[in-house]
Amino acid sequence: MSNQVISVILGGGAGTRLYPLTRKRSKPAVPVGGKYRLVDIPISNCLNADLHRIFVLTQFNSASLNKHIKNTYFFSNFSKAFVDILAAEQTPDNPTWYQGTADAVRQSLHHLENFEFDYVLILSGDQLYQMDFCEMIDHHIAQGADISIATIPVNAKDATDFGILKTDDRGFIHSFTEKPKTGLENWTSPVSDEMDALGRRYLASMGIYIFNRKLLFDMLLETQAGAADFGKEILPYAIQHHKVLSFQYTGYWTDIGNISSFWEANLGLTDEIPQFNLFDEAQTIYSRARMLPPAKVSVASMERAVISDGCIVQAKKLERVVLGIRTRVGIGSEVTNTYIMGNDFFQTLEEIAKWKEIGRPLMGIGENCVINNAIIDKNACIGNNVHINGGPHLTDGEFEKYTVKDGIVVVKKGAVLPDGFTI
């Protein structure tokens, strides 16, 4: 099957809803789960399905993403496997940047056409899930579909936030509506008894597609040459003119489109049995291999904590936290409901002594801090006795060193918060 499929991962636009995490990086490069990047999720799903030819399409702030992929995904010289970045480029034939998801793939077709393949698997770079793409591809081939769309059953409340598809009894899609606010009773589709019992009768598009090669080229270059977006233009047209099949997925999936969903998805990893299972060897999540020491932890009270390699923790309390690589937490500090992304490097003893001498906070969390409902981006330097208490009592706002969204305090990458700083 690996020779039949080319995978294309869409890097997304400017990622404004994830700002300030996307202030200096693209969405696929945002750190997730303490030691991964978002792009590792779709790439790992491909690799686990033995799909080893992968393009990542990106446009904004792509330097850190390029570096991560270069340092992570390299294969044997005797293999045809690759994970390549296709950054938006201006050419004599096309002087514009990517105008949307479909336009991004259209502008990249000349890179794909020299490969042998029958199907194109198109994925989003900002979702958290573990799916066996082999099942979806087999289903697509068995049903003789032109296009397949991965769908997930949702309830009436959630349906208003998604593109909703309506299928017949065979699973072929005949109607589509974008974020319906009324008339939902007309948009139910056949689902399993388990999903029906949960009230999840509406099929939401997951933004995961399979196209037959010839059809994709024909649509993007001929019949829909002016269309910029898959969800809003290409797929509604395709449903009326081609055999478009639904592939129902009932596992864990979340679209990490904003700060609150990103925060909840990461803290969900601290659950006793997390919905996104990092411990499933059949669905391994791959990332950059770092030669880091084990974590060193001395905590008076710790509950539901995910601690990555290289951490040095001397806190008073950790509860429902994810600590990224090389995180440092000082003596007496209490951290709850928080994702700390960690640091890109360790400070030397000489540098630590110099910073202490001039009164500059060290990288990480200082002593006797209290931090709740927050995301601390990489390389932040938080002094002693700093208090950060996120929650609905805070008004959303943009500040020099931090941002507040939906009550969650996001300390910016590399920000320095002096001793006694309070939010």
Contact 373, 387 (CB under 8 A): no
Contact 417, 386 (CB under 8 A): yes
Cα distances from 247 to residues 3, 147, 158, 369, in angstroms, run 22, 10, 19, 48
Instruction: Give φ, ψ of 87 to 5 degrees.
Output: -80, 150
> CB under 8 Å to 215, separation ≥6 — which residues?
146, 147, 242
Residue 275 covered by a domain = no
Residue 308 covered by a domain = yes
Q: Are residues 358 and 398 in the same domain?
A: yes
Local confidence pLDDT in tens for the 423 residues of the chain: 668 999 999 987 667 888 999 888 888 899 999 999 999 999 999 999 999 999 998 877 778 888 898 889 988 888 889 998 887 665 556 656 667 888 888 888 888 988 999 999 999 988 999 999 999 999 999 999 999 999 999 998 888 888 899 999 899 999 998 888 878 888 989 999 899 899 999 999 999 999 999 999 999 999 888 888 888 899 999 999 999 999 999 999 998 878 999 999 999 999 999 999 999 888 999 999 899 999 999 998 999 999 999 999 999 999 999 999 999 999 999 999 999 999 999 999 999 999 999 999 999 999 999 999 999 999 999 999 999 999 999 999 999 999 999 999 999 999 999 999 999
Q: Are residues 299 and 337 in the same domain?
A: yes
DSSP state of 219: I
For position 161, what pLDDT does the model report? Answer: 86
Q: How far apart are CA 140 and CA 173, in angstroms?
A: 13
Structure tokens at 313: 């923790």
For position 181, what pLDDT does the model report? Answer: 80
Q: How far apart are CA 377 and CA 410, in angstroms?
A: 7
Q: Are residues 92 and 20 in the same domain?
A: yes
Q: How far apart are CA 100 and CA 319, in angstroms?
A: 41
Q: Are residues 254 and 311 in the same domain?
A: no
Q: How far apart are CA 322 and CA 325, in angstroms?
A: 10
Residue 390 covered by a domain = yes
Contact 191, 153 (CB under 8 A): yes
For position 378, what pLDDT does the model report? Answer: 97
Residue 212 covered by a domain = yes
Q: Are residues 323 and 386 in the same domain?
A: yes
Q: Are residues 227 and 355 in the same domain?
A: no
Task: Count CB neighbours of 110 within 10 A.
Answer: 11
Q: How far apart are CA 168 and CA 213, in angstroms?
A: 25
Contact 174, 239 (CB under 8 A): yes
Q: Are residues 82 and 169 in the same domain?
A: yes
Task: Count CB neighbours of 175 within 10 A.
Answer: 15
Q: How far apart are CA 384 and CA 330, in angstroms?
A: 8
> CB under 8 Å to 361, separation ≥6 — which residues?
355, 381, 382, 383, 384, 416, 417, 418, 419
Q: Is the pTM of this model over 0.85?
A: yes
Structural domain harbouring 413: 291-417
- Residue-wise over 232-261: b if at least 16 C-beta within 10 A, else e? ebbbbebbeebbbbbbbbeebbbbbbebeb
Residue 284 covered by a domain = no
Q: Are residues 409 and 326 in the same domain?
A: yes
- Of 269, 299, 332, the one marking the end of a domain is 269
Q: Are residues 233 and 341 in the same domain?
A: no
User: Pick from 249, 254, 209: which is nearest to 105 by CA?
Assistant: 209
Fill in the amino acid letter for 8: V
Residue listed under structure tokens 């496997």: 81
Q: Domain with 358 in it: what CATH number?
A: 2.160.10.10
Residue 382 covered by a domain = yes
> CB under 8 Å to 211, separation ≥6 — which residues?
119, 120, 122, 146, 147, 219
Q: Domain with 87 in it: what CATH number?
A: 3.90.550.10
- Of 234, 269, 304, the one marking the end of a domain is 269
Contact 118, 213 (CB under 8 A): yes
How many domains are contained in the chain? 2
Q: Which spans in 187-294 are helix H?
A: 193-197, 213-218, 235-241, 259-267
Q: What is the 3-state secondary structure (H, E, C) of 291-315?
A: CCCCCEECCCEEEEEEECCCCEECC
Instruction: Give φ, ψ of 237 to 5 degrees.
Output: -65, -45
Q: How far apart are CA 76 and CA 78, in angstroms?
A: 5
Q: Are residues 56 and 146 in the same domain?
A: yes
> Based on C-alpha coordinates, what's the Rg of the chain?
23
Residue 97 covered by a domain = yes
Cis-peptide into 190, omega within 30 deg: no
For position 1, what pLDDT does the model report? Answer: 62
- Of 237, 269, 301, the one marking the end of a domain is 269
Q: Are residues 65 and 202 in the same domain?
A: yes
Residue 409 covered by a domain = yes
Q: Are residues 323 and 240 in the same domain?
A: no
